[in-house]
Structure 1
């Protein structure tokens, strides 16, 4: 019996931690292909690394919206790191649920906005209050 309880505790802990890691999104626009890696798909401040392919990008920004609730977050500008890599830091998601993350890219070959859907969870170690 004791082994079963220990095994269950390990499985529950693993399930809770499953959402704690980085979240990777990929998408294609008319001019650019993007890979976005978020430090986590959770509320609060997150870090985002954006890799842009298929042409030199000059600016990259991210914004999130929750259309079914009428929520939208302010746009966050990413800082260029060279070789098509950009970094952003800020609060993208104000609450848990399904969000649309829009990544806007401007460069020599034109502009693109790639939108991906993401499910946002409560950060590990925190409980959502109602």
Structure 2
């Protein structure tokens, strides 16, 4: 194994450890939440006790002013970049003004995931990426 591969592996291990440390507090409390903004929307993710297997992912969508909005379509695509996993997108169901739920997001491995939320309306698509730490 060459030196470059060893350094890259060590750097990856440090990043994974830091992500796990940052999310340990919220993941152990039962409900995990995260929020991020795209070019037009802000999305707040809420998951009760994220674990391997099926998870129900809740989303609150607002415009830049903080007003709840309902795009025409919301899809959710879980990705685990550290392992090179990308799962098929799941359509989130509307639950009320600005609230959506993806009831059957299957997360097969523990560790740090990125949840890409695509919000489609007449103006196009906005994407927001949210972190999620899944326990085993």
- Structure 2 distance, partners of 1:92, 1:102, is 14
- RMSD (Å) for aligned C-alpha atoms: 1.9
Structure with the greater alpha carbon radius of gyration: 1
Unmatched tracts of structure 2, length 5 or more: 1-23, 64-68
Q: Give the superposition deviation at 1:89.
A: 0.9
* Preserved CA contact (<8 Å) 1:103 1:113: yes
Deviation >4 Å, runs of 4+? none
Matched, 1:85 2:99: yes
Alignment TM-score, normalising by the size of structure 1: 0.72
How many residues are aligned here? 106
Q: 1:38 to 1:62 in 2, by over 3 A?
A: same
Identify, as 1 or 2, the structure richer in helix. Answer: 2
**1:96-129 CA-partner distances (Å, limit 9, x unpaired):** 111111111112343211112222112xxxxxxx
Question: What 5-or-longer segments of structure 1 have no aligned partner?
Answer: 1-14, 123-130
Q: Tell me the TM-score normalised to structure 2 length.
A: 0.69
Out of 99, 105, 109, the residue aligned to residue 119 of structure 2 is 105
Check conservation: 1:65, 1:71, Cα contact below 8 A: yes
Does the 8 A contact of 1:19 with 1:41 survive in 2?
Answer: no
